[in-house]
């Protein structure tokens, strides 16, 4: 799999909202990445708060898939994130419906949003917020790669590593 598009923004309201609102204009496997989201959110419209430039915030658009593929997609994303986090000497735990924890602290949120037509997923937008270099979470039980490993991590390097993992394991 090597047909993908990456669009990067310094600031955006929401990477997922942009993909959902304009999905017909974007090609399959378009990725929107941002340094900051003013309206980032998780499950049940909970606000996803992230310090500017410190974390990995992106969404992936997949189009025209059989609805039966949704479970595969969830497994694909979780396994890819686990492989990435293990490469940073972490032992991730998945907590339903869409969070990855290290011990008792959240390190990553995943949000799947779909539009269906009969047995067809017109689109699947997979939003991912992965804590990279943020260390203060204002009382929220959260952690980051930096907080665990005690060093600043290159966000772009983490993204490239995750993208490589995801692309190599994606099956159409």
Residue by residue, DSSP assigns the chain as ----EEEEEEEES-HHHHHHHTGGGSPTTEEEEEEEETT-B-GGG-B----TTTSEEEEEEEEEEEGGGHHHHHHHHHHHHHHHHHTTT--EEEETTTEEEETTEEEEEEEEEEEEETTEEEEEEEEEEE-SS----TT-SB--HHHHHSS---HHHHHHHHHHHHHHH---
Query: Minimum mean pLDDT among 35-39, 99-103, 141-145: which range?
Result: 35-39
How many separate domains does the chain show?
Answer: 1
pLDDT digits (tens, 9 = 90+) for 74-93: 999 999 999 999 999 999 99
More confidently predicted of 36 and 46: 36
pLDDT at 139 over 70: yes
State residue 157's pLDDT score: 97
pLDDT digits (tens, 9 = 90+) for 82-133: 999 999 999 999 999 899 999 999 999 999 999 999 999 999 999 999 999 9
At 103, which CATH number?
3.30.930.10
Give the domain range for residue 14. 5-169
pLDDT at 44 over 50: no
Q: How far is 133 from 26, CA to CA, in rounded Å?
A: 30
State residue 1's pLDDT score: 53
Mean of the per-residue pLDDT values of the chain: 92
State residue 41's pLDDT score: 54
């Amino acid at each position: 799999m090597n047909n993908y598009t990456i669009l990067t923004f310094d600031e955006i309201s929401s990477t997922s909202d942009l993909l959902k609102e304009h999905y017909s204009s974007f090609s399959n496997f378009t990725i929107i990445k941002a340094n900051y989201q003013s309206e980032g959110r998780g499950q049940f419209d909970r606000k996803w708060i992230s310090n500017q430039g410190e974390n990995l915030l992106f969404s992936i658009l997949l189009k025209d898939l059989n609805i039966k593929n949704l479970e595969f997609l969830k497994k694909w994303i979780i396994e890819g994130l686990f492989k990435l986090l293990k490469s940073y000497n972490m032992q991730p735990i998945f907590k339903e419906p869409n969070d990855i924890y290290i011990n008792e602290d959240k390190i990553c949120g995943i949000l799947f949003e779909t539009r269906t037509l009969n047995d067809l997923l017109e689109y699947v937008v997979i939003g991912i917020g992965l804590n990279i270099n943020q260390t203060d979470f204002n009382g929220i039980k959260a952690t980051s790669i930096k907080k665990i490993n005690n060093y600043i991590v290159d966000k772009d390097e983490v993204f490239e590593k995750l993208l490589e993992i995801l692309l190599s394991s994606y099956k159409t």
